């Protein structure tokens, strides 16, 4: 049991793009109240996510992507989340926030990860490879793109008629469920006083079984609303 006097852990989000993952995280945090988003860090002031954050009343900070650590230290969050952040986080920063910095990637890492593999590029590569299963991965962040320790994964089936866009819609649905759940888990660990290295030890996020597979839609995937799936 977590004492009511223990405040929810603070979270800072780094983003570069349109902000769909940022919005999902922010909405979840305000609904569940297990952790609090205290700021958005962006590498460019023109990023569309900035408008979303300001409309939501979330403070925005433009950082030097070669060294975001001064702003991170000023804000002092308990957890740092990457949400469509396209810059390589410097090694000095990943070391300073080791175990407390997470990212979500739209494939089952280590497949289809690494430099240049983001957004539609990932889904195009998945389709070109002809694989039948893809998914989403939440992982810790280190000094190399998509190579940090894997925390949780959720598989998504690839349909024969999928395009990068239809596949992306189902993977994004999974990301918006998996990522906040992992953050909930970490936040509870912090509130219980668990040491940072143990936040994901014996995690409650085992590899999903067959019943957790997000299925390929029947018929034409382009005509399928991903909200039809669990």
Strands (E), the chain: 10-15, 36-42, 60-62, 79-82, 101-105, 133-140, 150-157
Distance CA 210, CA 215 (A): 10
Look at residue 227 and tell me whether its pLDDT is greater than 50: no
Distance CA 17, CA 47 (A): 6
Distance CA 107, CA 123 (A): 8
Look at residue 207 and tell me whether its pLDDT is greater than 60: no
Whether 4 is a known active-site residue: answer no
For residue 229, the model assigns a pLDDT of 27
Q: Which of 4, 28, 61, 105 is catalytic?
A: 105
60-62 and 79-82 beta bridge pairing: unpaired
Tokens representing 157? 């089936």
Please report where in the chains the tokens 């596949």 appear, as a residue.
167
Tokens representing 198? 């143990």
Question: pLDDT digits over 128-139, tens only?
Answer: 999 999 999 999
Q: In a 3-state reduction of DSSP, which class is residue 214? A: strand
pTM of the entire predicted model: 0.87
Look at residue 161 and tell me whether its pLDDT is greater than 50: yes
Statement: 10-194 belongs to CATH 3.40.50.170: yes
Q: In a 3-state reduction of DSSP, which class is residue 126? A: helix
Tokens representing 197? 């290295």
The answer for 135, left when phi > 0, alpha when psi is -120 to 50, beta otherwise, is left
Question: pLDDT digits over 98-155, tens only?
Answer: 999 999 999 999 999 999 999 999 999 999 999 999 999 999 999 999 999 999 999 9
Look at residue 9 and tell me whether its pLDDT is greater than 70: yes
Question: pLDDT digits over 24-47, tens only?
Answer: 999 999 999 999 999 999 999 999
Q: Does residue 43 contact residue 88 with C-beta atoms inside 8 Å?
A: no
Radius of gyration (C-alpha) of the chain in whole angstroms: 17
Of the pLDDT bands very low, low, confident and very high (cuts 50, 70, 90), residue 197 is confident
For residue 134, the model assigns a pLDDT of 97
């Amino acid at each position: 049991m977590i004492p009511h006097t223990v405040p929810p852990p603070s979270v800072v989000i780094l983003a570069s793009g349109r902000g769909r993952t940022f919005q999902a995280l922010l909405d979840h945090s305000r609904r569940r109240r297990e952790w609090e988003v205290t700021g958005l860090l962006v590498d460019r002031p023109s990023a569309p996510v900035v408008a979303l954050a300001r409309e939501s009343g979330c403070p925005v900070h433009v950082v030097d992507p070669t060294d975001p650590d001064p702003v991170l230290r000023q804000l002092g969050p308990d957890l740092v989340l990457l949400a469509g952040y396209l810059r390589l986080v410097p090694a000095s920063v990943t070391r300073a926030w080791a175990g407390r910095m997470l990212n979500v990637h739209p494939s089952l890492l280590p497949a289809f990860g690494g430099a240049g593999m983001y957004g539609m590029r990932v889904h195009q590569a998945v389709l070109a490879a002809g694989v039948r299963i893809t998914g989403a991965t939440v992982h810790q962040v280190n000094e190399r793109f998509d190579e940090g320790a894997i925390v949780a994964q959720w598989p998504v089936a690839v349909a024969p008629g999928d395009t990068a866009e239809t596949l992306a819609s189902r993977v994004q649905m999974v990301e918006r469920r998996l990522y906040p759940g992992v953050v909930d888990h970490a936040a509870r660990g912090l509130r219980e006083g668990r040491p940072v290295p143990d936040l994901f030890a014996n995690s409650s996020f085992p590899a999903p079984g067959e019943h957790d597979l997000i299925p390929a839609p029947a018929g034409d995937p382009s005509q399928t609303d991903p909200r039809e799936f669990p």
